[in-house]
Structure 1
Amino acid sequence: MSEIVILTESAASQIKQMMKESGEENAYFRIGVYGGGCSGLSYAMGFDHEKREKDHESVQHGVRILVDNESALVLKGTVIDYKEAAMGGGFTINNPNAIASCGCGSSFRTATNAGKPEEC
Structure 2
Amino acid sequence: MTSPQTMCLSCLRAAQRAARTSTKVLNKPSQLSHRTYHTSTPSPQPLPVTRKLVQRPYISAYHAIPKKQITAPGATTHRTLATAATSPTSPPTNDPQPTRAILHPRNDDSGNPMRVSLSPRATNRLAAIASKDSNPNLALRILIESGGCHGFQYVMSLVNLSTEPATEEDTVFEGEKGAKVVVDEASLELLNGSTVDYTMELIGSQFVVTGIPGATSSCGCGTSFDIKL
1:74-103: CA deviation from partner (whole Å, max 9, x where unpaired): 101111112334565333321133112123
Out of 173, 182, 189, the residue aligned to residue 58 of structure 1 is: 173
Out of 192, 203, 215, the residue aligned to residue 98 of structure 1 is: 215
Q: In 1, distance between residues paired with 2:144 and 2:221?
A: 17
Q: In 2, distance between residues paired with 1:89 and 1:27?
A: 19
TM-score (norm 1): 0.76
**Which has the larger share of helix?**
2
1:52-79: CA deviation from partner (whole Å, max 9, x where unpaired): 1121122111112211000011101111
TM-score (norm 2): 0.43
Q: In 2, distance between residues paired with 1:21 and 1:41?
A: 33
RMSD over aligned Cα atoms: 2.3
1:30-65: CA deviation from partner (whole Å, max 9, x where unpaired): 112111211111111122221111211221111122
Judged with a 3 Å threshold, the aligned counterparts in structure 2 of structure 1 residues 103 and 8 are, in CA distance, closer, same or farther, namely closer
* 2:189 paired residue number: 73
Out of 95, 106, 109, the residue aligned to residue 226 of structure 2 is: 109
Q: CA deviation at 1:11?
A: 0.4
Q: CA deviation at 1:108?
A: 0.7
Alignment check: 8 A CA contact 1:76 1:97 kept = no
Unaligned 5+ segments in structure 2 are 1-111
Kindly report which structure 2 residues correspond to 1:34-53, keeping only aligned pairs within 5 A, or say none: 34-48=145-159, 49=161, 50-53=165-168
Aligned residue identity for 1:44: V
Aligned length: 112
Q: In 2, distance between residues paired with 1:19 and 1:107?
A: 28
Higher CA-based Rg: 2
**Which has the larger share of strand?**
1
1:12-42: CA deviation from partner (whole Å, max 9, x where unpaired): 1112223444565422321121112111111
Judged with a 3 Å threshold, the aligned counterparts in structure 2 of structure 1 residues 14 and 109 are, in CA distance, closer, same or farther, namely same
Aligned residue identity for 1:63: A
Aligned residue identity for 1:60: G
Give secondary structure in 2 for the equivalent of 1:38. Answer: coil
Matched, 1:82 2:198: yes
Judged with a 3 Å threshold, the aligned counterparts in structure 2 of structure 1 residues 68 and 111 are, in CA distance, closer, same or farther, namely same
- Percent of residue pairs bearing the same amino acid type: 29
Unaligned 5+ segments in structure 1 are 113-120
Aligned residue identity for 1:26: N
